[in-house]
């Protein structure tokens, strides 16, 4: 049975996660991170995808991005995945798959959850006990969004820009959002929505996405379906 096409509405942010097959390492050196970053920048530009936040971990990747045209994210991820696998296999004299099937994603309600996704992504190395502070991890967007590091990859979302009209003050306010860890319920909601390819947001947002895409954005209720009369 062919797989259903992804719900990919133009202008709606998406959280993306792609893991190494069997959680194996997909980055083994600094050069690997550099190569992946460069190709992500190139394909995001080619297929018209705005990248707002990211983190590249040893065995998986998180992205927060917005497509500006139909199927832009799918095209970007397919091209990026193929290019990087060719590079990785050639570099390490290996063959076969690198990624764990298709990437997983969820649609994100801008007003309620977008900044939460920024925090979820950029706090990943802290939750993994790799660093004590997100500023210490090189391969994420935190140094861009919180510290003002220049980046050709990052396109600030309007919700991020609305934190404060001035860059330095915006970065200060943004850093303050990281004084506390995310609530466990928000983390669970993000993970569930991403794993199941749903939407994260309130009921009104999910209703709007369902009308636009014709796809259910809510998990099915557990248990057997009730029998209908003959």
Tens digit of each residue's pLDDT (9 = 90 or more) over 60-114: 999 999 999 999 999 999 999 999 999 999 999 999 899 998 899 999 999 889 9
- Rounded to whole angstroms, how far apart are CA atoms 47 and 39? 12
- Rounded to whole angstroms, how far apart are CA atoms 115 and 146? 12
Report the SS3 class of residue 81: helix
- Rounded to whole angstroms, how far apart are CA atoms 205 and 110? 9
Query: For residue 228, is it within any domain?
Result: no
Query: For residue 226, is it within any domain?
Result: no
For the chain, what percent of residues have pLDDT higher than 90? 79
Stretch 45-72: mean pLDDT: 97
Query: For residue 33, is it within any domain?
Result: yes
Contacting residues for 91 by C-beta, under 8 A, at least 6 apart: 32
CATH of the domain at 114: 3.30.70.1290
Instruction: Name the range with the highest mean pLDDT among 19-23, 118-122, 179-183.
Output: 118-122
Q: What is the pLDDT of residue 106?
A: 95
Q: What 8-state DSSP symbol labels residue 101?
A: S
Pairing type for strands 60-67 and 49-56 reads antiparallel
Query: For residue 229, is it within any domain?
Result: no
Stretch 10-32: mean pLDDT: 95
Query: For residue 95, is it within any domain?
Result: yes
Query: For residue 220, is it within any domain?
Result: no
Q: What 8-state DSSP symbol labels residue 218?
A: S
Whether 36 and 149 have beta carbons less than 8 Å apart is answered as no
Report the candidate in 184, 190, 223, 204 with the shortest Cα–Cα distance to residue 64.
190
Which pLDDT band, with edges at 50, 70 and 90, does 213 fall under? confident
Assigned token pair, 98: 């690198």
| Domain ranges, residue 56 | 14-205
Q: What is the pLDDT of residue 117?
A: 97
Whether 223 shows a pLDDT value over 80: the answer reads no
The DSSP-derived string for 181-217 is: PPPHHHHHHHHHHHHHT-EES-HHHHHHHHHHHSS--
Which helix (H) or strand (E) is 11 found in, with range? Answer: none
How many separate domains does the chain show? 1
Stretch 119-145: mean pLDDT: 97
Q: What is the pLDDT of residue 218?
A: 77
Query: For residue 125, is it within any domain?
Result: yes
Q: Mean pLDDT for the chain?
A: 92
Whether 26 shows a pLDDT value over 70: the answer reads yes
Assigned token pair, 20: 């190494």
Whether 106 and 8 have beta carbons less than 8 Å apart is answered as no
Q: What is the pLDDT of residue 5?
A: 63
Q: What is the pLDDT of residue 3?
A: 60
Burial status of residue 45 (CB atoms within 10 A of its CB: 0-12, 13-18, 19 or more): middle
Which pLDDT band, with edges at 50, 70 and 90, does 222 fall under? low
For the chain, what percent of residues have pLDDT higher than 70? 93
Residue in this structure with the two tokens 């995310």, named with its chain if needed: 182
Query: For residue 158, is it within any domain?
Result: yes
Whether 229 shows a pLDDT value over 90: the answer reads no
- Rounded to whole angstroms, how far apart are CA atoms 202 and 109? 8
């Amino acid at each position: 049975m062919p797989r259903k096409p992804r719900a990919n509405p133009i202008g709606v942010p998406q959280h993306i996660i792609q893991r190494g097959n069997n959680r194996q390492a997909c980055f083994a050196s600094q050069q690997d991170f550099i190569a992946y970053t460069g190709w992500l920048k190139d394909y995001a530009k080619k297929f018209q995808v705005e990248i707002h936040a990211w983190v590249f971990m040893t065995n998986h990747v998180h992205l927060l991005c917005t497509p500006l045209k139909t199927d832009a994210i799918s095209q970007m991820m397919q091209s990026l995945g193929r290019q990087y696998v060719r590079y990785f296999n050639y570099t390490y004299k290996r063959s076969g798959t690198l990624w764990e099937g298709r990437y997983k994603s969820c649609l994100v309600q801008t007003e309620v959850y977008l900044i939460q996704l920024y925090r979820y992504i950029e706090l990943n190395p802290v939750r993994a006990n790799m660093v004590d502070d997100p500023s210490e991890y090189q391969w994420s967007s935190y140094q861009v969004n919180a510290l003002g590091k220049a980046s050709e990859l990052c396109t600030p979302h309007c919700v991020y820009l609305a934190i404060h009209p001035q860059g330095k003050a915006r970065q200060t306010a943004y850093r303050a959002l990281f004084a506390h860890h995310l609530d466990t319920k928000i983390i669970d909601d993000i993970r569930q929505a991403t794993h199941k390819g749903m939407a994260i947001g309130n009921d009104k947002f999910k209703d709007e996405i369902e009308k636009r895409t014709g796809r259910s954005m809510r998990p099915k209720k557990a248990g057997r379906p009730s029998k209908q009369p003959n």
